[in-house]
Amino acid sequence: MPRAFSPFKTPSSLSFADFLNPPLEAMNDMPELKSRGNRKLKMSFEDQLRALVFFHLEEHTSAQHLLQTLKEDDFAREHIAPEDGIEKSSFSEATNSRGLDQFMHVFQNLQAQASKILPKAHEELGNLVGIDGSLIDGTFSMLWADYRKGVKKAKVHVGLDLNQSIPKKVYLTDGNGAERPFVSKILSEGQTGVLDRGYQCHDLFDQWQQENKFYICRIKASTTKTIISQNPVPAGSIVFFDAMVLLGTNGVNQSKTPLRLVGYEVDRIQYWIATNRYDLSAEQIAQAYKLRWDIENFFAWWKRHLKVYHLIARSPHGLMVQILAGLITYLLLAIYCRKHFNEKVSIRRVRQLRTQIENELRCWPMSEANSNYGKKMKLQMVNAKV
């Protein structure tokens, strides 16, 4: 049955209402969040989504910071917080035990929406997915987040669409969680994973080829290489090596399926790239590997400007909810920047959005134009169909 999601109880900020509108489509066929008992939910999923997107967009630094804002700020109290307010215990219970399936549903739907409208920057290179893990500093109370003695960390494993610069899939483990097994989980058939040296594994290179999944993976220069055949190298190119090889030592760790190995040099640094992409030139392989840095840039931007690693939860469930909320906020920004400015996400546009929201809130009570917009939004939500 279609479900209605209102960005606001009464849309006082047109910019924020417009920013939060894309989840409307996602929530039409979302599994409903229900109370486990007879008590009414203190915080509905709609309340939870608004609060956590608001948390990231406005750069709150802790759950306490967010809760204080929801209690004391007129706008947040009126349009973000649940109708009866929210206490710390209820907020913690909602974050750490409910809503994970719903957040994942919204994330996947928004990812599909963004994929439809964002241009593909390197379409000639195919469907490239940068894969990497990023550590999250934990607390001593996070007993599940093993890293090393006296230190707790979690790790988020992300697949980033390198053509459109948007996250595609995400997984969470403790800080010692192995990264290589997530390649097969993140990649779909026909996609190409772009990977750093930490993912080098000759058995997995064989496995990915059997799964019809492609990879472009840097390997250690000291890796043993058995040359089967060599391809010509263009004169004056950064590429100095292009051949079909077996990697590793025979009888020890040698790959069973031949693969392509490309060597190139930039700024006196040599890169060795193992791949099963035979349709690309050696220079294109080098170009595709260079795009791997985009996922590093994504993690850095995400951490710095959306404060996604300022913990508001300590359990694996709650931390995954927070990570998904941060990814949802990024996808909403990607959709918003494309729709209004025909641009990629940038901190300049994020700051501009925050300023627009603040300026509109100074105009209370709502103008007639705002009121008419609110009626239009409500009508749109009522008529929304799956």
d(CA 127, CA 163): 7
Inside any domain, residue 237: yes
Instruction: Say what the pLDDT of residue 370 is.
Output: 47
Inside any domain, residue 240: yes
Q: pLDDT tens digits, residue range 14-62? A: 788 888 889 877 787 887 777 665 567 788 888 899 889 988 888 888 8
Instruction: Say what the pLDDT of residue 74 is.
Output: 80
Inside any domain, residue 291: no
User: pTM to 2 decimals?
Assistant: 0.88
Give the distance, in angstroms, between the CA of residue 323 and the centroid of all CA atoms in the same chain: 8
Exposed / middle / buried, residue 63 (Cβ in 10 Å: 0-12, 13-18, 19+): buried
* Residue range(s) defining the domain that contains residue 236: 197-273
Inside any domain, residue 167: no
Residues sharing a CB contact under 8 Å with residue 40, sequence separation 6 or more, in sequence order: none
| pLDDT value at 363 more than 70 | no
Inside any domain, residue 147: no
Mean pLDDT of 382-386: 45
Residues sharing a CB contact under 8 Å with residue 230, sequence separation 6 or more, in sequence order: 242, 243, 244
Instruction: Say what the pLDDT of residue 286 is.
Output: 97
Inside any domain, residue 239: yes
Q: pLDDT tens digits, residue range 142-193? A: 999 999 998 999 999 999 999 999 999 999 999 999 999 999 999 999 899 9
Inside any domain, residue 214: yes
Bridge partner list, 135: 155
Instruction: Say what the pLDDT of residue 371 is.
Output: 47
Inside any domain, residue 244: yes
| Cα–Cα distances in angstroms (integers) from residue 378 to residues 8, 22, 44, 281, in the given order | 10, 14, 19, 53
Q: What percent of the chain has pLDDT over 90?
A: 58
For the chain, what is the domain count? 1
Two structure tokens written together for 297: 């840039």
